[in-house]
Chains A and B, each alone.
Chain A
């Protein structure tokens, strides 16, 4: 019964999907139009669906000079260092914590998990002042390492929650079998649990990456040379300047989104299989 679908149902489904598709595409198209239209200063004053003369000029301009004489690739490099670093740290540290939470029944485990989440209940901007003070004391405030550490702390709790459920899903028999074969705790983890949980770890990594990649308010607080500006900061900065150009902003935003979209398309299969966050019920 579920295999067949009548023409009428097909039509209804496609209609619904087209409507949602329009909803999704409408704003994106406004952005794309503006970027290819080229030379709009401020916002455009007339409505068109299609640029009169599509041009890549503004992309070339942004590519060469995205923010204060910094080329786009330099900004992207900064973004990748900061958010990639945050991703790296939160996955390494988070995996280890998640494994402990999934495998060992130590006292304070459940409250610990909750307290962990409390650490992530506030967005980074809310904790600006204390972080400012802290990183000043540590003499890390104006470094990219400081920013990396901040992003790490905010993405780690979500990573732990996500990966814990993946580790819980690893059949205990497999681990015990490996243990009986004489493998130590570390080896069991490395050979058995980690490969099975890998897709979930990839998803957690993606989320950690996104948190750092799209953050800018903290960035402006901690970065004080134009050499350390990230892409997200450049986009938010382009919004506020007096020589504001809609085209430039749109081009920058599109360029910023492209790497993420690419990453999504590559990881789509994983995403579909592993987005079952925090598996249901405590399997203990």
Chain B
């Protein structure tokens, strides 16, 4: 039995590796030449020359592209050193457009080295968890940057090995020192390949200290440093030595050259080149929420969005099983959020732990399905009840079926066509139904249109007839076709509802305290924003905050004008301004719900708590919050739906091109920049409903866990 399991395990590992290798080799052939590939291959060519000539000094003093440590480039150089000579690639600034052609066979071989390293990384992860390996193997960003001549493949592999070896060392005392040494070796190599990947070392350190100081070790005498410090010291020292050993450029004048190389990045992150890209702080999430958008025909499987979703579902289990990996994911995530340079290849710093978390997510979901409680305990549902209920239901159902559900079904039909302003006459007069019917019954072949055609003013459909396009629009959307909107929308809903709830509940608690003066007055004042219609509220805020002519901006001798202009210009700070308005408008609703809830909590509970000697904070934590949350939760849920669909705020605040992608999906579907592409709007709406239903079900499940009490 055991040997059978081992056999299956090995088979799965090999399968994942095989798939990964295949996808990478395909990408090596098909991917166009990208930015920086010429720089790295050029460097490799010169290293190869120096190696053939045995000229160590040339390697040490090679200047070009000094901002990145040389190890990965040296590796590419080693791979092409034995190949016949080819013309050298000129050294150009790395911000230049990519080269149109690169010398063969150097180009092909270097790319294959990249693919080999990428495949090894998949193998390493698959040995720990085959499913995680598979997910890493099919992740399109991972494929792209481990098939091109990039710096990522080597540090991505070695950073995974750092954690794997460390994890191994922590699991068994046997030969722990060997594994720790290997881990430090890999950390040194990682840092010598690309600096940012060294964040993995911080994760290891955090995990180590976590263990050393966790309550389970409380038996140690206080004040004395835990034994771990000694190990940590040697581990770190070894890693640093390795870093210098594998970084020939530092062999001459190490400190000067190191600081020159490291500080380059701080300056670059602030540079015009980076700022002009205009990416929001959460851009790395956007990359992860969809497949690589630029090469649609290269990638066979595009599940990136679902890997991200499963990773968030499985994070709890991930934390319990593989804490050091989870810390890695968290720390790298925080780093990517804060670091101003947002190039997509940076996501490779965390795709490995992300895939592992996603594998945990898949397991969690499977387990939930298997252990679903049987609905046996419920009272029987009676058909004769329906006879008594239907007269009450019928009138409302008729109206709803007509006005709410007919449009939904019509939307679904529209999303299968290319219906737009030009074909509006045909579409309104039954063309949509005709085409969908003919399409579904197989009388017409679906017209081949990809989603991006609708966004391009010159490639939009121009026929005056509606055409059936099949599920292509929906498929693109569900594969993560509009990740920027999706990420913004979820971020918006969560942040705005969180702020509203925090302020609303805080105010309700203050107003609930007996003895506070003027409670009625304050409550009446605070209800005002809710009584003002949403778009009027948004208008008021625009009046206050608009740069150039808002109320604050025209204050003389005050810096508000400049501040507001810069705030509106950057996506991250603009989000804050919009959140300010949304919080203002939304908190009274939660405040009222929380006040009503607090009234229901009897004072006996507090007296009991006071007798038990609970302090103010303990009272809130153990008494008020658990009783209050289930009562406020429905109001929060309703605000969540409203926030997800927030329309008037964005409409009034004139969120316009190109920042229209930093708005909600419903605003985007409506937005005039979109130019009456009804079919895509409809598809986006269908997508919105599905996302919302999933969010609501998830929220419901999460909050049920907290509920515990049935009150009310």
Contact = CB atoms under 8 A, between A and B. Distances in A.
B688 interface: yes
B101 interface: no
B448 interface: no
Interface in A232-250: 232, 235-236, 239, 246, 249-250
Interface string B194-220: 000000000000000000000000000
Nearest to B603: A2
A180 interface: no
Nearest to A6: B515
A77 to B, nearest CB: 17
Given A134-B407, A232-B533, A129 B414 contact: yes
A27 B543 contact: yes
Nearest to B507: A20
B679 to A, nearest CB: 9
A277 B523 CA distance: 20
Contacts of A160: 396
Contacts of B428: 132-133, 136
Given A96-B393, A160-B396, A277-B635, A105 B536 contact: no
B589 to A, nearest CB: 8
Contacts of A257: 531-533, 536
A68 interface: no
Contacts of B546: 43
A109 interface: yes
Contacts of B533: 210, 213-214, 232, 256-257, 260
A212 to B, nearest CB: 10
A276 B596 contact: yes
Nearest to B629: A280
B416 to A, nearest CB: 14
A169 B688 CA distance: 33
Contact of A43 (B515, B523, B543): B543
Interface string B167-181: 000000000000000
Contacts of B516: 5, 10, 13-14, 17
Given A27-B543, A280-B633, A118 B549 contact: no
B536 A256 contact: yes
A51 interface: no
B429 to A, nearest CB: 9
A225 interface: no
A47 B555 contact: yes
Contacts of A33: 551
Interface residues of B, number: 111
A93 B396 contact: yes
B638 A97 contact: no
Given A10-B515, A122-B666, A47 B556 contact: yes
B681 A129 contact: yes
A100 B451 CA distance: 44
B259 interface: no
Interface string B499-530: 00001001100110111111000111111111
A211 to B, nearest CB: 10
A34 interface: yes
A281 B707 CA distance: 9
Nearest to B549: A43
A268 to B, nearest CB: 7
A106 B385 contact: yes
Contacts of B710: 280-281, 283
Interface stretch (A59-67, A145-153, A170-178): A145-153
Nearest to A231: B533
Given A154-B404, A271-B592, A46 B554 contact: yes
A128 B674 CA distance: 14
Contacts, number: 299
Given A20-B526, A107-B386, A123-B666, A100 B392 contact: yes
A124 B575 CA distance: 24
B496 to A, nearest CB: 15
Interface in A153-187: 153-154, 156-158, 160, 169, 185
Contact of A260 (B397, B532, B595, B681): B532
A274 B596 contact: yes
B134 interface: no
Interface in B392-409: 392-393, 395-397, 399-400, 402-408
Given A123-B647, A273-B596, A277-B593, A264 B527 contact: yes
Interface of A: 1-5, 9-10, 13-14, 16-17, 20-21, 23-28, 30-31, 33-34, 42-47, 89, 93-94, 96-97, 99-100, 103-107, 109, 116-123, 125-134, 136, 149-150, 152-154, 156-158, 160, 169, 185, 210, 213-214, 216-217, 232, 235-236, 239, 246, 249-250, 253, 256-257, 260-261, 263-265, 268, 271-281, 283-284
Interface of B: 378-379, 381-383, 385-386, 388-390, 392-393, 395-397, 399-400, 402-408, 410-411, 414, 419, 427-428, 503, 506-507, 510-511, 513-518, 522-537, 539-541, 543-544, 546, 549-552, 554-556, 584, 589, 592-593, 595-597, 599-600, 603, 606, 610, 630-631, 633-635, 637-638, 641, 645, 647-648, 651-652, 666, 669-670, 678, 681-682, 685, 688-689, 692-693, 696, 707, 710-712
Given A17-B510, A30-B544, A268-B523, 13 more contacts: A2-B603, A24-B525, A27-B544, A43-B549, A45-B549, A96-B396, A105-B379, A106-B388, A121-B645, A126-B645, A126-B666, A129-B411, A130-B408
29 contacts: A3-B515, A13-B513, A17-B510, A17-B522, A23-B584, A27-B541, A33-B551, A46-B554, A93-B395, A106-B385, A106-B389, A118-B689, A122-B685, A130-B408, A134-B407, A153-B399, A214-B535, A235-B535, A239-B539, A250-B543, A260-B533, A264-B527, A268-B524, A272-B592, A276-B593, A276-B600, A276-B634, A280-B631, A280-B707
